[in-house]
Structure 1
Amino acid sequence: MKRTSAAYHLFSRVIYALASIALTLISIAMIVVAGLDVWDSARAGEPLTHSMLDGIGLVVVSLAVLDVAKYLMEEEVLRDRELRSATEARKTLTKFLVIIIIALTLEALVFVFKAGSEDLTLLIYPAALLAMISLMVVALAFYMRISSKTEKQLGDDDVSLPES
């Protein structure tokens, strides 16, 4: 049973490493595509405003993808950590959600500039996205407050996660 568990653990780490490498390569490709799109627009003599905003959006998404790849590599492959305590789980979840919130916020700002330059009636969509992001921040803050308060009351050792 121990050997099967060790083999599965190694298999999981390899899969996480491959996923991280694939995400990194996709992120780099997205940055290259963004640059090529701006270059093509410049060569064609088109206004650069739209291609640059599209490029910014693509680079922002690629950075979020790169952050997820980095997180997978650090947490699941290199450190080989398992979440054994509620504090560790809270920190990991917080780190991941902050990456998502930052990426969404940057993308919403790009949408604001795009809508502002194209059609002001389109500003409702990035405004709604920013409102949802604000709710995510409030929900994350609430989660952090509740979980850290519980950890302090019970002591982190008493709030261990079940063994899998």
Structure 2
Amino acid sequence: MSLFIRIVFAIAACALMAVAAALLVYAPYVVLRDSLAGTAVLHESLLGVVGYLIVAIALFDVAKYFFEEEVPAGRERRSAGDARRGLTKFISTIIIAIFLEALVLIFETARDDVTEVKYAALLVLAGCVTLVSLGLFQRLSASVEQTVGPEPDTKDEEKQSPKDAGRLAS
């Protein structure tokens, strides 16, 4: 089952990278198409392109997370610290994407209809709540790790002699 799950994560990561690559190609195409057509070029299409690029970078980062944390064999038994660091990298990517997208949305709505800026402000608020939640998770998990101590390493257990194992069992 572990092999199947790793294959699914690898396929999902490849699909995310393909979508991100398509967005990275599509974004400059939109600018070229709009500039050659003479339509509302710079201020509208460039902000849209920034949005595409933000999503593409976030997708690449999520795919990278899958390849680093979920696909490799032998990663099933990780320490709590490893899991915390991996989750922190993943959530940090999402938080950065939320804030960048909120910034683009603020510029777009401020130019078009200022009354709609409240939705961009809600997105900034969602990013702030996510950031504070990540900090709280970091603080609580680090304090639990200090209280409980590090998890025993399976390699250290395997290196013990049978005499040591008998002594530990008693």
Shared fold by TM > 0.5?
Answer: yes
| Structure 1 residues 72 and 80, CA gap change in structure 2 (3 angstroms) | farther
| C-alpha distance in structure 1 between counterparts of 2:77 and 2:103, whole Å | 35
Residues 1:11 and 2:4 aligned together: yes
Q: CA deviation at 1:14?
A: 2.1
Aligned to 2:108: 114
| Structure 1 residues 83 and 54, CA gap change in structure 2 (3 angstroms) | farther
Q: CA deviation at 1:79?
A: 6.0
**Structure 2 SS opposite 1:157:** coil
Report the RMSD for the aligned CA atoms in angstroms: 1.5
| C-alpha distance in structure 2 between counterparts of 1:35 and 1:137, whole Å | 31
Q: Which runs of 5+ in 1 are unaligned?
A: 1-7, 159-164
Q: CA deviation at 1:114?
A: 0.5
Q: Is the 8 A contact 1:17 1:73 kept in 2?
A: yes
Residues 1:86 and 2:51 aligned together: no
Q: Which amino acid letter does the alignment assign opposite residue 115 of structure 1?
A: T
Residues 1:32 and 2:12 aligned together: no
Q: Which amino acid letter does the alignment assign opposite residue 29 of structure 1?
A: A
Q: Does 1 or 2 have the higher relative contact order (CA < 8 Å, sep 6+)?
A: 1
Q: Which runs of 5+ in 2 are unaligned?
A: 153-170
| C-alpha distance in structure 1 between counterparts of 2:95 and 2:118, whole Å | 19
Based on CA coordinates, which of the two structures has the bigger radius of gyration? 2
TM-score, L = length of structure 2: 0.83
| C-alpha distance in structure 2 between counterparts of 1:139 and 1:60, whole Å | 22
Q: Is the 8 A contact 1:83 1:89 kept in 2?
A: no
15, 20, 24: which one pairs with 1:22? Answer: 15
Task: Output one character per residue of 1:54-77: Cα deviation in whole Å (capped at 9) or x when no partner.
Answer: 110011011101101111112222
Residues 1:126 and 2:120 aligned together: yes
Q: Which amino acid letter does the alignment assign opposite residue 89 of structure 2?
A: K
TM-score, L = length of structure 1: 0.85
Aligned residues: 151
The structure 1 segments of at least 4 consecutive aligned residues displaced by more than 4 Å after TM superposition are: none
Percentage of identical aligned residues: 39
Task: Output one character per residue of 1:72-129: Cα deviation in whole Å (capped at 9) or x when no partner.
Answer: 1122224641253221221121111101100111000000111111111111111111
